[in-house]
Structure 1
Amino acid sequence: MIRRAHIKDLADIVEMIANDKLGQLREDFQNPLPKKYYDAFERIRADPNQELMVVEDRKGKVIGTLQLSFIQYLTYQGGIRAQIEAVRIHEDLRGMGIGQQLFEWAIQRAKDKGAHVVQLTTDKKRPEALNFYEKFGFIASHEGMKLHL
């Protein structure tokens, strides 16, 4: 089942985000979680343009997550873009179609909200993620750049 994340899901979400080569370098997964994650969760929850979603198995365990952000633009005649971030599936369950279900949901949600495009970024160190996204029709049409502050 795909649903909005609850505060009780936060540790599971952060654990999945921290559980890869890149996440281990930038996240601070501890028990208990640092307050900064709770603060961020509350800001996301309060913003109507942010949807932090989880996938739950039949037993209620959180096994996947993504964040969907809706960004209002003036370009494309005042269009809305949907931005997908922080996609993670529990490492023991990858390759079972859970990510596909989550992406199908996110794309449909973007259509329902009137978005004209769904976009995402993926680290070049994650070629398996790039292959996954291409299966949905995502095209590497732009060169992305970041400035870490």
Structure 2
Amino acid sequence: MIEMDWLVSHMQHSDRLAQWLYEQFSYEYAGQSLGEWQAEFADGQTNGDWLTLIAHEHGQLLGSAALATNDLQQRADLGPWLACVFVAPHARGRGLAAELVARICAAAQAQGVERLYLHTHDRQDYYAARGWTALESFQAWGSSHCLMARDLM
């Protein structure tokens, strides 16, 4: 049975998840080593920077989504952010990403967050189909990206 819980209660998965994210979104970590990102990500579970929800089954990590304070340096005026959405290849096609995103939105709303932001370079249609609105396009990391938002209240 798939379970979802906060990473802070399962820190044995932190380094592996940080590595998956580092590999999947490598363009974002060009100036940072894997070890530095793993330390930042682990610290973010307790300091509030990267509150991460994970999906796991029988002790095996399946995926994640995070409520981040700042996920886009050039737009530090915005936040909080949906970030770190990732499902391991062997676990895809089971609706995990949609469920993780929905739970992050619910957690943010429970904290009184009125609007949540995200950025994507290739999943705009996926998020638009789930209630996210494109706000603007921008160039970063050598490609075009889309800034999106979802009103929660």
Output the TM-score relative to the length of structure 1.
0.70
Structure 1 residues 135 and 147, CA gap change in structure 2 (3 angstroms): closer
Distance 2:129 2:63 in 1: 19
Aligned partners of 2:46 and 2:11: how far apart in 1?
Answer: 12
2:62 is matched with 63
Q: CA RMSD in A?
A: 2.9
Runs in 1 of length 4+ with deviation above 4 angstroms? Answer: 24-27, 145-148
Which residue pairs with 2:16 in the alignment?
12
Which secondary structure does the structure 1 equivalent of 2:101 belong to? Answer: helix
**Structure 2: stretches of 5+ with no match in the other structure:** 71-77, 143-153
Q: Is the 8 A contact 1:50 1:67 kept in 2?
A: yes
The residue type equivalent to 1:140 in the other structure is A
**3-state DSSP of counterpart to 1:63:** strand
Question: Does the 8 A contact of 1:16 with 1:89 survive in 2?
Answer: no
Following superposition, the deviation at residue 24 of structure 1 comes to 7.7
Q: What's the CA shift for 1:116?
A: 0.9
* Alignment match, 1:54: 54
Q: Contact between 1:69 and 1:84, CA under 8 Å: does it hold in 2?
A: yes
Which has the larger strand fraction?
2
Number of corresponding residues: 129
What is the CA–CA distance in structure 2 between the aligned matches of 1:81 and 1:34, rounded to whole Å?
25
Q: Which residue of 1 aligns with 2:73?
A: none
Distance in 1 (CA, whole Å) between partners of 2:98 and 2:41 is 25
Select 2:136's aligned residue among 111, 134, 142: 142
Report how far residue 51 of structure 1 moved.
Answer: 0.6
| Percent of residue pairs identical | 13
- The reply on whether 1:87 has 2:103 as its aligned counterpart is no
Q: Shift in Å at residue 34 of structure 1?
A: 5.1
1:96-127: per-residue Cα shift (whole Å, max 9, x none)?
A: 1011110110111111011110110001xx2x
Superposition map of 1:105-120 within 5 A: 105-120=103-118
Q: Contact 2:53–2:104 at 8 Å: present in 1 too?
A: no
Select which of 23, 27, 34 maps to 2:26: 23
Looking at CA atoms only, which structure, 1 or 2, has the larger radius of gyration?
1
